[in-house]
Amino acid sequence: MLPFARVTVIGLGLIGSSIARAIRQHMPTVRVTGHDADPQVREIARAIDLADDITDTPGAAVTDADFVILCVPVGAMGAAAADIAADLPPEAIVSDVGSCKASVAAALAAALPGVAIVPAHPVAGTENSGPEAGFPSLFHKRWCIITPAADADATAVARVEAFWQALGAEVERMDATHHDLVLAVTSHLPHLIAYTIVGTASDLETVTRGEVIKYSAGGFRDFTRIAASDPTMWRDVFLSNKEAVLEMLQRFSEDLTALQRAIRWGDGDTLFDLFARTRAIRRSIIEEGQDDARPDFGRSHE
């Protein structure tokens, strides 16, 4: 039995459009309605037949929905929820896809009192954005973390979990605050570092007359891929999860200082021990199926 019959996706970027495509692939009898605040995005979504209906207003998108997924930047979640509040059916369940959970849960609860809210975070994505960037297999064998409140309706939580499992995701429940700390380490801080390194290289590029770009090695190329992610989304992530990010940034700064000291004093043992430990973490990620074991991440060198 399908967990939902009528799903509405608000926000038709990479994640929202991938959800719409995945529903059609895995649950073809489910009716999908979409809305995006950008008229041009709505026009593209209609042209590529992304959903059964693309509405011009958020209220019209949710009038008969039994499940609504907000796929907007985390800083816009509260406003997006407020826009659908008056037209939302009382039995509908509302969720989201934001990578910050505590602040989003608070914003949704304030905008939608009395509504069944089950926050979620599919840990998947690419550096691309827009309705044409999505693809149905984005969530296949990727984790989706569900962060329901302690008093959340058990049936609603189970239905949201079943939805993501139907799209091919592995589902895990987690406390929202703990989620934000974990993601600060595994996602948010790496993005911040990538933006910083690429920004530094951009400043240097004017001095080296193109050599930074011309001689980019694999490590720098990977940083540029991360740093090409949607700027609005990541601006909101850092502002919404600032306490956890600042905590992890402080720890990183301390570890970086220790490495700086080891390099200055020629302490090769410290450097080797760290590099050996981090190499083992890479192997564990591959064993978990979270990345490709092929050399150079499977890049073609033809």
Rounded CA-CA distance 164/22 in Å is 10
8 Å CB contact between 297 and 291: yes
Q: Pairing between strand 6-10 and 170-173?
A: unpaired
Element (H, E) at 67: strand 67-70
Domain-embedded: residue 297:
no
Claim to verify: residue 168 and residue 192 sit in the same structural domain: no
Query: Per-residue pLDDT for 202 more than 80?
Result: no
Range picked from 44-58, 116-130, 286-300 for highest mean pLDDT = 44-58
Query: Domain of 187?
Result: 178-292
**Structure confidence at residue 276 (pLDDT):** 87
- In this structure, what CATH number is given to the domain that contains residue 258? 1.10.3660.10
Domain boundary among 140, 174, 208: 174
Claim to verify: residue 52 and residue 200 sit in the same structural domain: no
**Structure confidence at residue 215 (pLDDT):** 65
Banded pLDDT at 290 (limits 50, 70, 90) = low
* Chain segment 70-85, per-residue pLDDT in tens: 999 999 999 999 999 9
Instruction: State the average pLDDT for the chain.
Output: 89
**Structure confidence at residue 55 (pLDDT):** 97
CA-closest candidate to residue 241, choices 155, 182, 161: 182
Banded pLDDT at 97 (limits 50, 70, 90) = very high
Burial 183-218 (b: 16+ CB within 10 A, else e): bbeebbbebbbbbebbeebeeeeeeeeeebeeeeee
Rounded CA-CA distance 147/149 in Å is 7
Domain-embedded: residue 191:
yes
Domain-embedded: residue 192:
yes
Domain-embedded: residue 298:
no
Q: How many domains does the chain have?
A: 2
Reduce the DSSP state of residue 117 to 3 states and report it. strand
Claim to verify: residue 144 and residue 216 sit in the same structural domain: no
DSSP-derived secondary structure for 180-233: HHHHIIIIIHHHHHHHHHHHHHHHHHHHHTTHHHHT--HHHHHHHHHHTS-HHH
**Structure confidence at residue 301 (pLDDT):** 43
**Structure confidence at residue 92 (pLDDT):** 97
**Structure confidence at residue 285 (pLDDT):** 66
Domain-embedded: residue 1:
no
Domain-embedded: residue 255:
yes
* Chain segment 238-260, per-residue pLDDT in tens: 998 899 999 999 999 999 999 99
Query: Per-residue pLDDT for 237 more than 80?
Result: yes
Domain boundary among 174, 199, 233: 174
Query: Per-residue pLDDT for 161 more than 60?
Result: yes
Burial of residue 261 (CB within 10 Å: 0-12, 13-18, 19+) is: exposed
Domain-embedded: residue 55:
yes
- In this structure, what CATH number is given to the domain that contains residue 23? 3.40.50.720
Question: Residue 227: how many CB atoms within 10 A of its CB?
Answer: 21
Banded pLDDT at 16 (limits 50, 70, 90) = very high
Domain boundary among 174, 194, 223: 174
Claim to verify: residue 27 and residue 117 sit in the same structural domain: yes
The structure's pTM equals 0.83
Q: Which of 73-77, 86-90, 203-207 has the lowest mean pLDDT?
A: 203-207
